[in-house]
Amino acid sequence: MSDTSINLDELRQRIDQLDSDILNLISERASCAQQVAHVKLAEDEDAVFYRPEREAQVLRRIMALNKGPLDSEEMARLFREIMSACLALEQPVKVAYLGPEGTFTQQAALKHFGESAVSLPMAAIDEVFREVEAGAVHYGVVPVENSTEGVVNHTLDTFMDSSIKICGEVVLRIHHHLLVSETTRRDKVSRIYSHPQSFAQCRKWLDAHYPHAERVPVSSNAEAAKLVKTEWHSAAIAGDMAAKLYGLEHIAEKIEDSPDNSTRFLIIGNQDVPMAGEDKTSIVVAMRNQPGTLHALLEPFHRHQIDLTRLETRPSRTGVWNYVFFIDFKGHRDEPKVAAVLEEVQLRAADLRVLGSYPIGVL
Ligand SMILES: C=C(O[C@@H]1C=C(C(=O)O)C=C[C@H]1O)C(=O)O
């Protein structure tokens, strides 16, 4: 008993000493980041302090150096918050996201920029684009594809009418819960609210557990969570943020049908991002409707051994070209082999626009 208490005291003294060291080191790091901001300002009075490629490099380096016992993702998450706080000293990043508050898109925004970012909910995807275009915020966050449900067409379509750039990506594991308020009669749930995508992602579970409950689609999971606050016979399917925001209780957790259900979000902005080392490029290409079109488009990627990560076809909205392809691939537009492919595709296409080269999501 006494042995353990001596050890405990010693260990706590050691922890106190380490905490003081960590505190001093974080403060020193924050001063360095402040100096970086002054250097940037001296070079350009409209300087953007946030640097996506540098942040990706910092996080990747930390993950590579980490020897445990904390796992590398956990360690990167801590450094994510340190960077976010350092940056906020000079200028908190302002981020518009597809709202309302409590959506997975807000969770994605905070995962990417850290909790010191100022996040502003928008009512629709095109409003997020407009806020960024107008310079009212630094960046926007919009969902683009889900591993179960596929592409968010509205986001892709909005790119066709916009000059906005992709500056980053973030992937979020999506866990859905069945939530009720404290006044809900749990045995009398006859109505369930959620976003159509979430219903689709939990369909088998709902068929097995609530085959007779009415499924009411609403504009977001957070909206669903808000509605059940006042209805004693209703439940909502939503994530942790919405549950916390509206003080709801869990009837069942992680009810998504696919265990690795995840959604990819894009960070949009007005900035061309330099190479980080592990990058992706997104392009949109319009092709004429001729035999062999798809082969002509993809052949240069194959020849230069560039890894395609996504290919989506959307109907063209101008009616002039029949196909519009959204293509994501590994590499940065400043790399010679990527530049060569882009040049070749340009010659074969009716129109080509590079939406952006950006660091592959780290966290
Ligand atoms: C300090 C810098 O500015 C910002 C803060 C960073 C940090 O705290 O490490 C990294 C990139 C920028 O978002 C920098 O560009 O190095």
pLDDT digit string (tens) for 115-144? 999 999 999 999 999 999 999 999 999 999
More confident residue, 322 or 3: 322
* pLDDT on residue 319: 62
The distance between the two most distant Cα atoms of the chain, rounded to a whole number of Å, is 84
> In this structure, which residue's CA is closest to atom 7 in ligand 1?
83
| Closest C-alpha to ligand 1, atom 5 | 87
> Which CATH entry fits the domain spanning 177-252: 3.30.200.20, 3.40.190.10, 3.40.50.300, 3.40.228.10?
3.40.190.10
Q: CA-CA distance, 77 to 114, in Å (whole number)?
A: 9
Pocket residues for ligand 1 (CB within 6 Å)?
A: 33, 36, 49-51, 54-55, 58, 83, 86-87
Total-model pTM? 0.92
pLDDT of residue 318: 67
Those residues whose C-beta lies under 8 Å from the C-beta of residue 261, and which sit 6 or more positions away, are 146, 147, 148, 173, 174, 175, 176, 201
Give me the residue spans of the domains in the chain: 2-89, 92-174+262-269, 177-252, 279-359
What sign does the CA torsion over 341, 330, 270, 141 have?
positive
CATH code for the domain defined by 2-89: 1.20.59.10
Among 32-46, 55-69, 138-152, name the most confident range: 55-69
pLDDT digits over 166-177, tens only? 999 999 999 999
Give dist(CA 63, CA 65) in Å, integer: 6
> Any idea of the CA torsion for 124, 128, 131, 136, to the nearest 10 degrees?
120
- Cα distances (Å, whole numbers) of residue 56 to 80, 205, 277, 328: 10, 37, 9, 19
| Atom of ligand 1 lying closest to residue 87 CA | 5
pLDDT (tens digit per residue) in 263-303: 999 999 999 999 999 999 999 999 887 888 889 999 999 99
Q: What is the ipTM of this complex?
A: 0.97
Nearest CA to ligand 1 atom 14: 36
CA of 84 to the centre of ligand 1 (A): 9
Neighbouring C-beta atoms of residue 22, cutoff 10 Å:
11
Rounded distance from Cα 329 to ligand 1 centre (Å): 26
The residue to mutate among 29, 31, 35, 54, having the most atoms of ligand 1 within 8 angstroms of its beta carbon, is 54
Kind plus residue range of the DSSP H or E element containing 143 = strand 139-146
Q: Is 96 helix (H, G, I), strand (E, B) or coil?
A: strand
What phi and psi values does residue 91 have, to the nearest 5 degrees? -165, 105
Torsion of CA 149, 153, 156, 162, to 10 degrees: -150
What is the rounded CA–CA span in Å between residue 79 and residue 280?
23
Q: Which CATH class is domain 279-359?
A: alpha beta
Classify domain 92-174+262-269 by CATH architecture: 3-Layer(aba) Sandwich (3.40)
Q: Give the bridge partners for 94, in sequence order.
A: 118
Q: Which range has the worst mean pLDDT, 19-23, 148-152, 165-169, 316-320? A: 316-320
Ligand 1 center–CA 177 separation, angstroms: 36
Supply the pLDDT for residue 80: 97
Burial of 10 (0-12, 13-18, 19+ CB in 10 A): exposed
How far is residue 321's CA from residue 327's CA, in Å, rounded to a whole number?
17
Fold match, 92-174+262-269 / 177-252? yes
pLDDT at 184: 86
**CA distances (Å), 203 to each of 100, 238, 240, 258, in order?**
24, 14, 19, 10
